[in-house]
Structure 1
């Protein structure tokens, strides 16, 4: 086996693309990092890093070794941290989308505490946190198609989008079939700085409604903000029914027409294969699945669109 110092020097240099940055992180000289990587290459009889003018580039062999080292060092760091904290069977570090966290997960954590008082949760919502790249996280809740390379995943729930607004906005309507959406402010969620999600267009198509101008209205970077704006009477938004269940039950929001749009993507619990069977992760997974079942049982039915439409919020 190559020396551990050489492997670590290569891992940091390959990850940062710089001998200088690697030396800073390892608290050694740049020449020491360069020498260790060169010795590793000589031992393996394979070039791992191509020295460019301003940056290091990984070769095919370098990428293969870097991936293996990152996974190995992450496992070591995770195990050492668990031993040091002496809470590795109780502390669960979870990352989840911000709207899902605030609107679905947080209101249910009290029941998790009642059922598993020994389980301690550290919850983050930073979207840049990656389970594949970080040893700090134990599991993550992700929105997508269930394909995360090298990770295990369990389906939690599908999105089901409906149009909602404050009841006061609809008090003057005569019947549901004659509602004129052009008289309302439409609330949109941004996919990027200059692009909206297409949920309004998908919902209108499912409802069979034409002639609605969706170009205007208010825009928000989080679905949670759009929902809060709807509660405050600002306009109508398209939201996942799972995220507005409390407001619908309390009467803060009402559904506009009995139509929903099923999305192709869903919420998943994502874990590392080597940790999936850990007792505290199994407890958390089973609790999540039970909460999803309870939530689905309590939802009122609505009419689906004729075919699933991708409508992510």
Structure 2
């Protein structure tokens, strides 16, 4: 299952951007990174942002640390959309820019070839694929 990376922040920070913000507006905010620090550069290039240093801001060794820092209002994090689904629906976090970029990370279901001969394994695979499509 593929995923995309989107910039995310608290609703309070999004309000500071104003209506229809340009990606260049991120110059006034912290960029929060996880170990895939170069992803911000990829997103900023895709968004056409100029004059921003994509390497500035704190780096966390795990996405959870970056997410927690963002939730604390410390800046914008670039996160996988699937990780944010519940908080986005509950408006706990927002994505103020519509652009997402493909994540290099994906979810894979791996199993031995004969596993699907087991009814429980086949049912689990069907359920998992159904959930992923939803």
Q: How far is 1:265 from its partner?
A: 4.8
2:12 alignment partner in structure 1: 168
Q: 2:30 aligns with which of 185, 188, 195?
A: 185
Q: Is the 8 A contact 2:115 2:122 kept in 1?
A: no
Deviations 1:139-166 (A, max 9, x none): xxxxxxxxxxxxxxxxxx1111110000
TM-score (normalised: structure 1): 0.40
- CA-based RMSD: 1.7
Flag as ranges the 4+ runs of structure 1 deviating above 6 A: none
Q: 1:265 to 1:230 in 2, by over 3 A?
A: closer
CA distance 1:271–1:189, shift in 2 (3 Å): same
Structure 1, unpaired ranges of 5+:
1-156, 191-195, 295-313
Name the counterpart of 1:159.
3
* TM-score normalised by structure 2 residue count: 0.88
Confirm or deny that 1:261 pairs with 2:101. yes
Total equivalences in the alignment = 133
2:127 alignment partner, SS class: helix
Larger radius of gyration: 1
Counterpart CA distance in 1 for 2:88 and 2:47 is 20
Structure 1 residues 286 and 223: alpha-carbon distance in aligned structure 2, compared to 1, 3 A threshold: same
Provide structure 2 residue ranges, at least 5 long, that are not aligned to the other structure.
none
Would you tell me which structure has more strand in proportion to its own residues?
1
Q: Tell me the secondary structure at the aligned position of residue 116 of structure 2.
A: coil
1:1-313 equivalences in 2 (<5 Å) = 157-178=1-22, 180-190=25-35, 196-263=36-103, 265-294=105-134
SS for the counterpart of 1:252 is coil
SS of alignment partner, residue 16 of structure 2: coil
Contact 1:165 1:235 (8 Å CA) reproduced: yes
CA apart distance, 1:266: 2.4
